[in-house]
C-alpha cells in the first residue's frame, strides 16, 4: 500500500534512504526515535493542533471559484486556500511541527534552508514564537529575487546566511545548511522545508503537511475528480495527495518547465530527470551523464530545485500521480487570470498548478469537480510580477 | 584485535604510521595530478586517496569545493579519474590507490561496470563518503569479490555504531576527527584521542584519522595515537600555492616548494 510507505529503511519503493556522511547517521537515528515518540504522545499532538488552529489559522477555507468556473465552462473549480495561512503559505504547517519537536528534543537552535523564502519566513516565525534561535541559509540569487522575504526573516529576528556557491539558489543553500548541520549536529536541529533529504525527513514533513489533504477531504462534500498541486521539492503536493492515495481521484503534480522543457532552463525533474542521489535521498534529479547535478531554472524560486521528494519519485514510477509541467509564461498568465477572476493573487509557484488546471478544466464536463491547492499567496512575488507585467504594458 | 592480513592486495607495506594524502584528480589538470602524486609518494605516502570532483560535495569544506570546481571546469569525471590510474602507474606511482567519490556518479556509472573498471585500471580501494553502512551492502559484496577495499568511516557521533562499523572494516578505518566538513582545524578536540582509542579497540584494520590535520604537531600526535593520518585540504592548499608560484616563476619552483612544504608537514 502506498500509504504504508516508507519502510523501516526510509524507502518508498526504490527511492529514499539515507545517503549521508557517517557523522549524520546517529543524529538521524536520534531524530527518528524522538519523532516516533512525539507522534504517539497526545500532549505533543494536541500542542501541534492547537498551534495550527490558534496561531496559524487552520483550517484554511475551501473556496468555490465561481467566476473562473463560469469563464472556462467546464469542471467545477475549488481552491484550497493555503495562501491564507499565517506567513502566506503552507510551509508553516511543517515548521510548527518540526520546531515543536526540536524544543521537545531540547534543541533550541534551528537551521533552515530556503528558496523563495517562504520556508525561511515560516522557520523564523516559529523560532520567534517558541523562543529558538534561527539561522536561515539562502542562495544569493534568491536573496536578490526575494528581497521582501529576506527582510521579513530579519525582522522576525533570524539570521540570514547568504550562500554564493553554485547558482546561489535552493540546492546550494541546502548544501550549505547540511554542511553547517554536520559541524553542529549535537545542539542544532535542522528544520528541512520540503519532503526531501535523508530519512526520516520526507516522512516527517509529509506527516506535518497532510493536514492539507485531510481538511480537503472533510470540506469537500461532493466527489472530487482531480486534484492539482505544484511540485518543487513537493511538500504541498504530498500534503494534499497523501490522504487521497488510496481513493479514486486523479492526482496531478505540476513541475516548473521554466523557459520550456526542451531548453536547458527548466526545473522539470520528473519530466526530464533520471534517478540519482541528492541531499541524502535516492530520487529523480537533473544531472549530466557523469552524475554531476545540473543547475535548474524557474522564475519561481520555490520550484527552482534539481531534485524532488523520494515519495513523488515513487508515485511517478508507479504512475499513481500524473506529473505535468508549466512554463514561466503560462504560470505568470495564470497569476493574472486568478487575480482578475477571483480576486486572489497566488504565489508564482501555486500558479503552476492553476495553469495546468485551467488547461484541463475547460475540457471537462460541468458535473466534474477539481481542487487546486493554492499553496501560497503572491505578495512575495510583487517585484517579479511588476517587472514582468510592466514590460507587458500592464498599467 | 588481530590485524587483518594482506591489506590492499598485499601492497600496503606497513600497518603503522600510515601517511594517506588526498588530492583531487585533475586539479588543475591530469598531467599535474601525476606530478603531485609522485611528489607525495617521494614524501613517504603509503596510500593515495584520489578524489573525484563532484558538483555537490556535502562532506567537503571550501578548499576542496574549490579544487573540485577547478577539476570539473577542466572536464574531469569519475570515468576519467579511474582511467588516470594507469597513467599514475606508468609514471611510477606504486602505492595503493583509493578512489574517493560521492555516490551519485557511481550510481550513474552502474555498480557492475564501475567495479569492473576499477579492477581493469588497477585500483585497490574505494571510499564513498555519503554511503553509510546501511546503504553499502551491495557494493560491499561486489568489492569484496574483486579484492577491492571498501573503506568505512566512523565519526565522533557514531557511538554504538563504532563496533558494527569497525568489525566489518576493510583496508583501513577512516576515523573522522571531529564534527564538520573537511578543512583545517587549528586544534584537535581533546576528546579526539579517547575516540581514537575506542575505535582501535574494535578495529581489525589500521585506524587512520582525517579531517582537519594541517600541521606537523598534529601529524606527530597522530603518529603517536593512531595507525595513520589522512591529509586533504592542507595538501590541496599547498597545490594551490605551488600553482601560484609556477605562474610567477616556473614549474620547477612550484614543485620544489610543494615537496619542501610536504616534507616539513609530515616529518617525524
For residue range A58-69, list pLDDT tens digits in order.
999 999 999 999
pLDDT value at residue A257: 97
What is the pTM for the complete model shown? 0.96
Residue B42, min C-alpha distance to chain A (Å): 32
Query: With a CB-CB cutoff of 8 Å, which residues 204-263 of chain A face chain B?
Result: none
Strands A274-278 and A281-285: antiparallel
Rounded CA-CA distance A160/B166 in Å is 40
> Same structural domain for residues A231 and A350?
yes
Domain annotation covers residue A2: no
> Same structural domain for residues A170 and A46?
yes
DSSP element (H, E) containing A370: strand A369-374
C-alpha cell at A76: 467545477
Please, what is the average pLDDT of chain A?
Answer: 96
> Same structural domain for residues A176 and A75?
no
Handedness of CA B230, B234, B240, B242 (dihedral sign): negative
pLDDT value at residue B48: 98
Interchain CB contact of A178 with B (< 8 Å): yes
Q: Which residue has the higher pLDDT, A338 or A145?
A: A338
Q: What is the DSSP string of chain B?
A: -PPPSSGGGGT---SSSEEEEEEETTSS-HHHHHHHHHHHHHTT-SSEEEEPP-SS-TT--HHHHHHHHHHHHTT--HHHHHHTHHHHHHHT--S-EEEE--HHHHHHH-HHHHHHHHHHTT--EEE-TT--GGG-HHHHHHHHHTT-EEEEEE-TT-TTHHHHHHHT--S-EEEE-SSSSSS--SS--THHHHHHHHHHHH-SS-EEEESS--SHHHHHHHHHHSSEEEE-HHHHHHHHHHHHHHHHS-HHHHHHHHHHHHHHHH--
> Same structural domain for residues A95 and A79?
no
- Residue B1 — very low, low, confident or very high, per pLDDT cuts 50/70/90? very low
> Same structural domain for residues A234 and A331?
yes
Q: Is the pLDDT of residue B47 over 60?
A: yes
- Number of residues written out for chain B: 268
Of A19, A26, A290, the CB nearest to B157: A26
Q: Which residues pair with B153 in a beta bridge?
A: B174
C-alpha cell at A94: 511543517
Q: Is the pLDDT of residue A355 over 50?
A: yes
Nearest-Cα residue of chain B relative to residue A278: B104
> Same structural domain for residues A216 and A187?
no
Q: Domain total for chain A?
A: 2
> Same structural domain for residues A217 and A312?
yes
**Which CATH number belongs to the domain containing residue A97 in this structure?**
3.40.50.1100
**Residues of B recognised as catalytic:** 49, 60
Q: Are A132 and A103 in contact (CB under 8 A)?
A: yes
Residue B61, min C-alpha distance to chain A (Å): 8
Helix axes A201-209, A22-39, angle to 10 degrees: 30
- Are B104 and A27 in contact (CB < 8 Å)? no
- Residue A1 — very low, low, confident or very high, per pLDDT cuts 50/70/90? confident
Domain annotation covers residue A363: yes
Percent of chain B at pLDDT above 70? 98
Domain annotation covers residue A166: yes
- The angle at the Cα of A254, spanning A253 to A259, to the nearest 5 degrees, equals 160
Q: Which of A197, A216, A243 is the last residue of a domain?
A: A197
Q: Are B59 and A21 in contact (CB under 8 A)?
A: yes
Q: Which residues pair with B51 in a beta bridge?
A: B24, B100
> Same structural domain for residues A154 and A79?
no
Compute chain B's Rg from CA coordinates: 17
> Same structural domain for residues A47 and A65?
no
> Same structural domain for residues A213 and A350?
yes
Please, what is the average pLDDT of chain B?
Answer: 95
Domain annotation covers residue A5: no
Q: Kindly list the residues from chain A whose CB atom is less than 8 angstroms away from the CB atom of residue B179.
A: 23, 182-186
Interchain CB contact of A186 with B (< 8 Å): yes
Percent of chain B at pLDDT above 90? 94
Rounded CA-CA distance B233/B220 in Å is 18
Strands B228-231 and B207-210: parallel
Residue A307, min C-alpha distance to chain B (Å): 13
Q: Is the pLDDT of residue B37 over 80?
A: yes
For residue range B191-213, list pLDDT tens digits in order.
999 999 999 999 999 999 999 99
> Same structural domain for residues A187 and A333?
no
- The angle at the Cα of B5, spanning B4 to B10, to the nearest 5 degrees, equals 135
Phi, psi of A281 (to 5 degrees): -135, 140
Percent of chain A at pLDDT above 70? 100
For residue range A196-223, list pLDDT tens digits in order.
999 999 999 999 999 999 999 999 999 9
pLDDT value at residue A169: 86
- Are B105 and A290 in contact (CB < 8 Å)? yes
For residue range A94-128, list pLDDT tens digits in order.
999 999 999 999 999 999 999 889 999 999 999 99
Domain annotation covers residue A362: yes
In this predicted complex, what is the ipTM? Answer: 0.95
C-alpha cell at B1: 584485535
Domain annotation covers residue A12: no
- Are B108 and A23 in contact (CB < 8 Å)? no
In this prediction, residues B5-30 reach a mean pLDDT of 94
Q: Kindly list the residues from chain A whose CB atom is less than 8 angstroms away from the CB atom of residue B131.
A: 19
pLDDT value at residue A395: 60
- Residue B6 — very low, low, confident or very high, per pLDDT cuts 50/70/90? confident
- All residues at 6 or more sequence positions from B194 whose CB lies less than 8 Å from its CB, including other chains: none
Domain annotation covers residue A10: no
Domain annotation covers residue A137: yes
For residue range A177-187, list pLDDT tens digits in order.
999 999 999 99
Interchain CB contact of B113 with A (< 8 Å): no
- Residue A147 — very low, low, confident or very high, per pLDDT cuts 50/70/90? confident
Of B78, B159, B179, the CB nearest to A183: B179
Q: Which of A141, A169, A197 is the last residue of a domain?
A: A197
pLDDT value at residue B188: 82
> Same structural domain for residues A351 and A267?
yes
Domains, chain B, with CATH or none: 14-153+214-266 (3.20.20.70)
For residue range B101-158, list pLDDT tens digits in order.
999 999 999 999 999 999 999 999 999 999 999 999 999 999 999 999 999 999 999 9
For residue range B229-250, list pLDDT tens digits in order.
999 999 999 999 999 999 999 9
Q: Which of A147, A166, A197 is the last residue of a domain?
A: A197
Q: Is the pLDDT of residue B2 over 60?
A: no
Residue A18, min C-alpha distance to chain B (Å): 7
Q: Which of B105, B68, B81 is CA-nearest to residue B232?
A: B68
For residue range A221-274, list pLDDT tens digits in order.
999 999 999 999 999 999 999 999 999 999 999 999 999 999 999 999 999 999
Of A276, A292, A293, the CB nearest to B107: A276
DSSP character for A292? P
Q: Which of A148, A190, A197 is CA-nearest to residue A385?
A: A148
- Number of residues written out for chain A: 395
Q: Which domain holds residue A257?
A: 57-88+206-391
In this prediction, residues B3-8 reach a mean pLDDT of 73
Helix axes A201-209, A211-219, angle to 10 degrees: 30
- Are B155 and A23 in contact (CB < 8 Å)? yes
- Are B157 and A186 in contact (CB < 8 Å)? yes
Amino acid at each position: 500500500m502506498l500509504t504504508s510507505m516508507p519502510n523501516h529503511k526510509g524507502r518508498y519503493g526504490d527511492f529514499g534512504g539515507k545517503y549521508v556522511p557517517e557523522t549524520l547517521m546517529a543524529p538521524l537515528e536520534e531524530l527518528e526515535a524522538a519523532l516516533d515518540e512525539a507522534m504517539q504522545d497526545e500532549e505533543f499532538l494536541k500542542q501541534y493542533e492547537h498551534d495550527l488552529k490558534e496561531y496559524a489559522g487552520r483550517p484554511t477555507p475551501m473556496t468555490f471559484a465561481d467566476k473562473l468556473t463560469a469563464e472556462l465552462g467546464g469542471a467545477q473549480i475549488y481552491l484550497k486556500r493555503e495562501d491564507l495561512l499565517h506567513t502566506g503559505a503552507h510551509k508553516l504547517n511543517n515548521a510548527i511541527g518540526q520546531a515543536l519537536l526540536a524544543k521537545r528534543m531540547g534543541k533550541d537552535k534551528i537551521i533552515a534552508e530556503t528558496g523563495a523564502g517562504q520556508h525561511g519566513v515560516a522557520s523564523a516565525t516559529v523560532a520567534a514564537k517558541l523562543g529558538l534561535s534561527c539561522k536561515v541559509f539562502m542562495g544569493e540569487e534568491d536573496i536578490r529575487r526575494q528581497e521582501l522575504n529576506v527582510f521579513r526573516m530579519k525582522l522576525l529576528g533570524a539570521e540570514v546566511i547568504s550562500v554564493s556557491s553554485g547558482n546561489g539558489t535552493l540546492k546550494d543553500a541546502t548544501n550549505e545548511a547540511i554542511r553547517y548541520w554536520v559541524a553542529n549536529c549535537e545542539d542544532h536541529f535542522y528544520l528541512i522545508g520540503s519532503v526531501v533529504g535523508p530519512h526520516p525527513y520526507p516522512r516527517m514533513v509529509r506527516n506535518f503537511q497532510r493536514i492539507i489533504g485531510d481538511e480537503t477531504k472533510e470540506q469537500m462534500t461532493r466527489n472530487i475528480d482531480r486534484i492539482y498541486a505544484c511540485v518543487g521539492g513537493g511538500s504541498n503536493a504530498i500534503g494534499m495527495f497523501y490522504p487521497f492515495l488510496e481513493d479514486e481521484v486523479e492526482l496531478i503534480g505540476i513541475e516548473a518547465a521554466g523557459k520550456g522543457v526542451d531548453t536547458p532552463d527548466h526545473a522539470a525533474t520528473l519530466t526530464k530527470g533520471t534517478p540519482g542521489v541528492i541531499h541524502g535521498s535516492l530520487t529523480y534529479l537533473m544531472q549530466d551523464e557523469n552524475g554531476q547535478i545540473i543547475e535548474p531554472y524557474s522564475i519561481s524560486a520555490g520550484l527552482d530545485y534539481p531534485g524532488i521528494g523520494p515519495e513523488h519519485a515513487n508515485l511517478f514510477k508507479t504512475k499513481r500521480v500524473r506529473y505535468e509541467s508549466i512554463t514561466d509564461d503560462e504560470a505568470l498568465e495564470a497569476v493574472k487570470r486568478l487575480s482578475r477572476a477571483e480576486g486572489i493573487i497566488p504565489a508564482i509557484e501555486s500558479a503552476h498548478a492553476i495553469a495546468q488546471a485551467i488547461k484541463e478544466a475547460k475540457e471537462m464536463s460541468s458535473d466534474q469537480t477539481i481542487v487546486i491547492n493554492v499553496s501560497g499567496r503572491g505578495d512575495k512575488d510583487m517585484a517579479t510580477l511588476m517587472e514582468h507585467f510592466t514590460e507587458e504594458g500592464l498599467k | 584485535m588481530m590485524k587483518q592480513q594482506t591489506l590492499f592486495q598485499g601492497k600496503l607495506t606497513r600497518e603503522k604510521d600510515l601517511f594517506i594524502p588526498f588530492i583531487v584528480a585533475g586539479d588543475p589538470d591530469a598531467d599535474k595530478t601525476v606530478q603531485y602524486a609522485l611528489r607525495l609518494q617521494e614524501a613517504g605516502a603509503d596510500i593515495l586517496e584520489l578524489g573525484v570532483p563532484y558538483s555537490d560535495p556535502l562532506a567537503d569544506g571550501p578548499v576542496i569545493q574549490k579544487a573540485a570546481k577547478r577539476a570539473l571546469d577542466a572536464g574531469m569525471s569519475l570515468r576519467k579519474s579511474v582511467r588516470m590510474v594507469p597513467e599514475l602507474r606508468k609514471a611510477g606511482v606504486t602505492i595503493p590507490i583509493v578512489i574517493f567519490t560521492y555516490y551519485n556518479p557511481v550510481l550513474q556509472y552502474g555498480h557492475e561496470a564501475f567495479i569492473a573498471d576499477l579492477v581493469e585500471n588497477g585500483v585497490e580501494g574505494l571510499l564513498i563518503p555519503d554511503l553509510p553502512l546501511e546503504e553499502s551492502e551491495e557494493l560491499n559484496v561486489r568489492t569484496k569479490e574483486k579484492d577491492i577495499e571498501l573503506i568505512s568511516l566512523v565519526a565522533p557521533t557514531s557511538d554504538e555504531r563504532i563496533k558494527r562499523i569497525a568489525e566489518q572494516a576493510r583496508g583501513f578505518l577512516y576515523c573522522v576527527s571531529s564534527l564538520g566538513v573537511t578543512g583545517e582545524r587549528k586544534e584537535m578536540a581533546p576528546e579526539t584521542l579517547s575516540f581514537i582509542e575506542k575505535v582501535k579497540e574494535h578495529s581489525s584494520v589500521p585506524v587512520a584519522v582525517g579531517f582537519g590535520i594541517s600541521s606537523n604537531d598534529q601529524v606527530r600526535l597522530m603518529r603517536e595515537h593512531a595507525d595513520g593520518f589522512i591529509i586533504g585540504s592542507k595538501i590541496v592548499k599547498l597545490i594551490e600555492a605551488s600553482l601560484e608560484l609556477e605562474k610567477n616563476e616556473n614549474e620547477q619552483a612550484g614543485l620544489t616548494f610543494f615537496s619542501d612544504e610536504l616534507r616539513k608537514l609530515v616529518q617525524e
